[in-house]
Structure 1
Amino acid sequence: MIRIGIIGLGWWGKQIVTCLAESPRFKVMAGCDIDGKMAAPFAAAQKFDLKDDYKTLLKRADIDAIAVVTPHLLHEEMAVAAFAAGKQVFCEKPLALTAASAERILAACAKTGGVLGIGHERRYEPAMEEMRRLFESGVLGRILHMDANVSHSNFRKMDPSNWRRDPKHAPAGAWTALGIHLGDMFVSLAGPPIRVTARTASQIFPAPSEDFVSAEIDFKNGARGRITCLSTPPFYGRFTLVCDQGWVEVQEGGNVDKGIPSSFVHCGPDGNRVTRNYDHANTVRMNFEAWADAIEGRAPYRFSTEQLLGNIRILDAVTRSAATDGKPIAL
């Protein structure tokens, strides 16, 4: 069993604790949040210690690993400090906001021989797993294009002062919340990105908060992709993979925490379509347990260093391209 401390007990930090409660592989020993009054009832209900300084968790001998679930600008400082303290680290997405920051986290991990977990649980969704299985089997042929749009109105309900609407912590609209998952899927299927063109806008939100982002991404192997995310409409989620021998499309009915099934369509070279539905799964738990397997030497973790860095290079380029009204950024 891995004894873990959670830094950050907001909406998603609580979601992680709740999902890990179903796993026999983890025990939450302590949590930390700057808003102790907000976090105290949850910590009491879940029966773990609550602290207000994350460094106290790093000093505890009864904590093997740390999950960093904080505003994005804090990820590097906390992840590097946790590795230096001899802990394993699971970092919520995005790993970092710039490629240089991601490289420093990865270097800290390599220095200690640790295993870096990352909060990209979407890879474990059953419909996405089936898409990957078909692609890796070769039945779809050569990858040509990926097109994805995940949008929702959760941030519309937030106070404009919330860090999730602050470009300092969450640049490029909903990219760090939504687009970053899609970027992870893109690099896992198509490999290294080489060029990004992006635009953002404040269509509904008052500036500087942005509620629209769209990016086109070119890959070394010749594939291309497009990601679009909006922060104001009702939930919409679609991922389309187009290859020269067929295509696959996954449509989601709701955000990962809603427990709604996904629909899956596969079209082969003859034009016939096969449609299936996939039930929701506890993908957060699945991701954490896969990370635990890697820590314990049972199996490699599916997120390679190249993929982690490639995804943050996309985020970095999206931010820079959007700031120049769509100037292409070579990677």
Structure 2
Amino acid sequence: MIRIGVIGLGWWGKQIVTCLAESPRFKVVAGCDVDHNMAAPFARQHGFDLVTDYEDLVRRGGLDAIAVVTPHLLHEEMAIAALAAGKQVFCEKPLALSTASAERILAASAKQGGVLGIGHERRYEPALEKVRLLLESGALGRVLHMDANVSHNNFRNMDPSNWRRDPRHAPAGAWTALGIHIGDLMVSLAGAPTRVAARTASQIFPAPSEDFVSADVDFADGARGRITCLSTPPFYARFTLIGDRGWVEVQEGGNVDKGLPSTFVHCKPDGTRESREYAPVNTVRMNFEAWADALEGRAPYRFTPDQLLANIRIFDGVVRSAAKNGEPVAL
């Protein structure tokens, strides 16, 4: 069993602890949060120790791994500190806020001989797994285009000073919350990205907070992608992959914590369509347990260092392109 500590016990940190509660592979033994009073009742409920300083947590004996679930600007500092202390690291998305930062984290992980875990649990959603399997079987042919819109209004009523709406922590609107998952998915299906053109806007939120981002991404093998995220409408999530022999589309019923089903449609070469609904599964636990398999040498982790870096290159390109009003950026 892997004994893990969690840095950051806000909404998503609590979600991770809850998702791991029934896992035979992990035991959450300690955690920390800057808001000790907020976190203390949750720590008591789940039976783990609470400390006030993340540095104390990463140096703690009896811990095999650390999950970094904090505001994005802190990921590099905390991940590298945990690695330097000899712990394995699982980092929430986005891995980093720049390509250079991601490279430093990945280099530190490689130096320690670790397997870097990443919070991209969407790859484990049953409908999206079906997309991957169909593509790998050749049923869809060559990938021509991918298109996604993932939007929600979870941050609309937050105080504008909240870090999730702060461009220092979350540049390019909802990309760090939503688009980063789709970037990972597209890299896993289409390979290395080569070019990005993106635009952002403050349509509803007062500047400098941005509530709209859309980006076009080119891939080395010729596939194209478009990702759009808005921060003000009710939840909407759709992913479409068009190949030269067919297409597939997945529509999500709600955010990952809502436990709602997804709808899947597959259009075959003759134009006939098959539809089905997929029930939700505990994708967070599935991702962590796949990471555990890699740590224990049972199986490779599906998120390779090259893929992790490619996704941050897309994000980095989105930020740089949007700052130039959509001017394309080579990756």
The answer, yes or no, to whether TM exceeds 0.5 is: yes
How many angstroms apart in 1 are the aligned matches of 2:250 and 2:212? 22
Q: Paired residue for 1:144?
A: 144
How many angstroms apart in 1 are the aligned matches of 2:313 and 2:212? 20
Q: Paired residue for 1:115?
A: 115
Cα deviation for residue 111 of structure 1 reads: 0.2
Instruction: Letter of the 1:96 partner, please give it.
Output: A
Deviations 1:267-293 (Å, cap 9, x if unpaired)? 010000000000000000000000000
Q: Paired residue for 2:270?
A: 270
* SS class of match (2:156): helix
* SS class of match (2:316): helix
Cα deviation for residue 180 of structure 1 reads: 0.1
Cα deviation for residue 174 of structure 1 reads: 0.1
Instruction: Letter of the 2:65 partner, please give it.
Output: A
Instruction: Letter of the 2:135 partner, please give it.
Output: F
- 1:1-331 equivalences under 5 Å are 1-331=1-331
How many angstroms apart in 2 are the aligned matches of 1:170 and 1:208? 11
Cα deviation for residue 59 of structure 1 reads: 1.5
How many angstroms apart in 2 are the aligned matches of 1:295 and 1:257? 26
Instruction: Letter of the 2:34 partner, please give it.
Output: I
How many angstroms apart in 1 are the aligned matches of 2:44 and 2:316? 39
Cα deviation for residue 22 of structure 1 reads: 1.7
How many angstroms apart in 1 are the aligned matches of 2:269 and 2:239? 19
How many angstroms apart in 1 are the aligned matches of 2:253 and 2:157? 20
* SS class of match (2:177): helix
How many angstroms apart in 1 are the aligned matches of 2:61 and 2:300? 26
How many angstroms apart in 1 are the aligned matches of 2:78 and 2:326? 33
Give the fraction of aligned pairs with identical amino acids, expressed as a percent.
79
How many angstroms apart in 1 are the aligned matches of 2:18 and 2:255? 16
How many angstroms apart in 2 are the aligned matches of 1:196 and 1:130? 27
Cα deviation for residue 157 of structure 1 reads: 1.8
Cα deviation for residue 255 of structure 1 reads: 0.2
Q: CA RMSD in A?
A: 0.5
Cα deviation for residue 130 of structure 1 reads: 0.6
* SS class of match (1:155): coil
How many angstroms apart in 2 are the aligned matches of 1:52 and 1:313? 34
Aligned length: 331
Instruction: Letter of the 2:28 partner, please give it.
Output: V
Cα deviation for residue 43 of structure 1 reads: 0.7
How many angstroms apart in 2 are the aligned matches of 1:167 and 1:186? 24
Instruction: Letter of the 1:304 partner, please give it.
Output: T
Segments of 5+ residues of structure 1 without an aligned counterpart are: none
How many angstroms apart in 2 are the aligned matches of 1:49 and 1:159? 30
Query: Scaled by the length of structure 1, what TM-score is found?
Result: 1.00
Deviations 1:143-179 (Å, cap 9, x if unpaired)? 0000000000000021111100000000000000000
How many angstroms apart in 1 are the aligned matches of 2:11 and 2:267? 38
Instruction: Letter of the 2:82 partner, please give it.
Output: A
Segments of 5+ residues of structure 2 without an aligned counterpart are: none
Cα deviation for residue 52 of structure 1 reads: 1.1
